[in-house]
Structure 1
Amino acid sequence: MLTTINQSYLDPEKLNKLTAEFASGQPYKHLVMDNFLKEETAAQLYDNFPSIEKLSKHYKGLNENKSEGSNFSDFHAVFTQVRNDFMSPEFAQWMSQVTGIKDVFITDDKLGTGLHQGGDGSFLDIHVDFNIHHLKNVHRRLNMLVYLNKNWKQEYGGAMEMWNADMSKMVKAVPPLFNRCLIFETSDISYHGYSKITLPPGETRKSFYTYFYTNLPANANLKYHDTVFKSKPEDTAFKKVGTTVKENLKNTVKAQLKKLGIKF
């Protein structure tokens, strides 16, 4: 039984509505659900969210400034409880029903579940995600983010920006409000990210991430790529050129390493 999720979202009568909302999402298939976790569970996650220093990875570069961690043994037990629910067969079945993508699963590693956090000045430039798990060779299909930001103000920024396929226009922005769940299909046109945030002391942008996969068919003609960052129309010429050069080099090298069977 799924013990941490708001039971109203598990109601069979609601599944058709959720499925329709996901399928009609623009600029790509997605679904936004508020009060997704049980109230007491969300409160526990917020109260016990680890500090940025306790997360295991920190990114600070041309295209991102954020931290993440999947070292659940270092976190409060409620994080493992939620993780176990998300990784259960029952939740996988629910996700398949809502999205229409059959036989989804979560990998038991840092590319399956974890936490994201960013302090003042954090940003994540617009990008599409890697399409194949480089070690397990499975196809990434869906992202699920549960935001854990109480009293989030509009002036902080940090909304998840969803851009169209040619990166000419932002179509939708989803503020990272407390206990809001965002699910979206990952593809080569699912451009997303968030602009630089402005936060007061002690405030951070927090989320619980989960990535869903399916097995690759034996005859799959899918060429591996890593995360691909893209420039916004308003970016400086320097950033546009720097992003293009960096991403082309990174993806060329990583694709070759994967082809050779070298871990990275």
Structure 2
Amino acid sequence: MLDLINPEVLKNRERYGSRFRSADPFPHVVIDQFFSPTFCEQLIAEFPPFERGANLNEDGLPGGKSTVEDIRSLGETYVLADDLFRSAEFSSLMSDVTGIPDLLYDQLYVGGGTHENRPGQELDPHVDFNYHPHHGWHRRLNLIVYLNREWEVEWGGSIEFHEDPWGPPEQNRIERVVPLANRAILFETSERSWHGFEVIRQPQNHPPISRKSLAIYMYTKDRPPADTAPSHATVYVERPLPFVLRAGDSTEAQGARVRKALTRRIEHVARLQERERAFSEKIITQVRKLFSSTKSLGQPEIEMLEGLFRREDVLLKLLYDREKEFSRDIEWLQHRVADRQLGLPVIGRAKLATAPEGYYPNDEWCAPLLTLDLKLSAPSKAMVFHGRVPHRFPQGQTLECTIRDRSESAHFNPGEFDWKVPAAMAAGERASVQIRASESICPASADSSSKDMRNLAYQLHSVEVA
């Protein structure tokens, strides 16, 4: 099966091994021309269409990423690739390069297989889950082979290896590698293998691009105790402020990105809180079993319970301290911007001709019916509504947008949304836009302590006319 690998790779496995072990910020190696040229071309030619893979986002709508884990279903070339990956010879080659013995192939391709990402997609720095979800094996290696015949640095999408994304941005050394065809990235999966990729940018006057790759992950039944950590899911780190505030961009664009970055963090915290509740329920179940016997607790049990209490007390104190910090920041911001009037940001080729109806600029909420009157400064093809459905609408929100008597509808689950609606218009034209929402709430009706009598449906950050 190794005849599918470039003979130069086989001949130079020791040299690649030396690079792997000495690499910073963690063991990895870049191998160009990994497959034989003919086999790589076959993989590119038979790469599945975007619609063939799992491509729905959290709203149940087609998103910007598509994956296929069952690569044997993709045709003869991908059957050969799978046969290669499952062979003892391939595992031996990976062990020779990395120094990790007894590597195991994952026939389920959990998280692996073919990956395709369209412009606008990015992947925050993260370390991967560390145990196979079904077999309990230790995750040890990631192998990614890119399948893009053409790629420029300016297009983004380069894989990033981070030293420590939790630390100050200026101290986080980052190595970037462009995802060119037949370039393989092999890296150790550990508690310090922080990696991600830059946002993909569609080049102007160029056919549509997408970032394509084939990924496999390898495991072992054991791992050195010093490198073994308790089981965890993938750990993500949000992008820092210097990355969000891009120099040279308009204040409106910077503001939209900052709001989106803050909202992502808030939703990230909410997801972790849900997992915290699930862990806590498991702990309580096990504690009930601990006390189901009349046998007295021993010192190990008492020390474990003391640790549980300490951890919860630390979290309680942190949450109370955060309340004080939130109050301080709110007071500072209110003083700083007291004399500023807010409006709905309109970005791109139009401006508001009159004030919106049904929009509350102080907190970006919209009424069940929003009406906008826009004047075009240049020809347009579409409008993109950047907003958010708050989690107080657990079933999501259905929106209907009418632009010049043409209507489009979409359903959004709780979270951020970027809704693109066709809007072909000429420069100088005026467009009346109405958005109707299927659901609304009155805060005062839901909470007797609230004095907010508004009917609220969703939040709208900005409107982009392109």
User: Which band: TM-score by shorter chain?
Assistant: 0.7 to 0.9
SS of 2:143's equivalent in the other structure is: strand
Q: 2: distance between equivalents of 1:112 and 1:106?
A: 13
1:7 equivalent in alignment to 2:7? yes
> Which residue number corresponds to residue 208 of structure 1?
214
Higher relative CO (Cα under 8 Å, sequence separation at least 6) belongs to: 1
Amino acid at match of 2:235: V
Greater Cα radius of gyration, structure 1 or 2 = 2
Which runs of 5 or more residues in structure 2 are unaligned? 245-260, 286-466
Q: Which residue of 2 aligns with 1:44?
A: 42
User: Higher mean Cα deviation, 240-249 or 148-157?
Assistant: 240-249
> TM-score scaled to structure 1, two decimals?
0.86
Could you tell me which runs of 5 or more consecutive residues in structure 1 were left unpaired when the two chains were aligned. Answer: none
Secondary structure of 2:9's counterpart equals: helix
* Contact 1:225–1:251 under 8 Å retained in 2: no
- Counting only pairs closer than 5 Å after superposition, residues 93-132 of structure 1 correspond to structure 2 as 93-111=92-110, 113-132=112-131
With the length of structure 2 as denominator, give the TM-score of the two structures: 0.50
Q: Which moved more, 1:209-218 or 1:145-154?
A: 209-218
- Alignment partner, residue 236 of structure 2: 229
Change in CA separation of 1:248 and 1:23 when aligned onto 2, cut-off 3 Å? farther
SS of aligned partner of 1:145: strand
> Structure 1 residue aligned with 2:264, among 233, 239, 244?
239
SS for the counterpart of 2:3 is coil
CA displacement, residues 167-224 of structure 1 (integer Å, 9 cap, x when unaligned): 3424200110111000001111111111221125442100000100000369896411
Query: CA 1:102–1:255 in 2, change beyond 3 Å: closer, same or farther?
Result: farther
Distance 1:183 1:256 in 2: 38
- Point out the more displaced range, 117-126 or 179-188: 117-126
Look up the match of 1:178. Answer: 181
Three-state SS of the structure 1 residue aligned to 2:200 is coil
Q: Which whole-Å CA distance do the structure 1 matches of 2:207 and 2:136 have between them?
A: 41
Aligned positions, number: 254
- TM-align CA RMSD: 2.7
Question: For the structure 1 residues 256 and 224, does the alpha-carbon distance in structure 2 shift closer, same or farther, using more than 3 Å as the test?
Answer: farther
Distance 1:209 1:93 in 2: 18
Q: Could you give the per-residue CA deviations for residues 18-37 of structure 1, whole angstroms, max 9, x where no partner exists? A: 11100011111000011110
Of all paired residues, the percent bearing the same amino acid is 32
Offset, 1:166: 4.8
Q: In the alignment, which residue of structure 2 is the partner of 1:71?
A: 70
Structure 2 counterparts to residues 181-196 of structure 1, below 5 A = 181-196=184-199
**1:54 aligned partner:** 52
Describe the SS at the equivalent of 1:117: strand
Q: Which deviates more from structure 2 when the two are superposed, residues 144-153 or residues 222-231?
A: 222-231
Distance 2:72 2:137 in 1: 25
1:132-143 paired onto structure 2 within 5 Å: 132-143=131-142
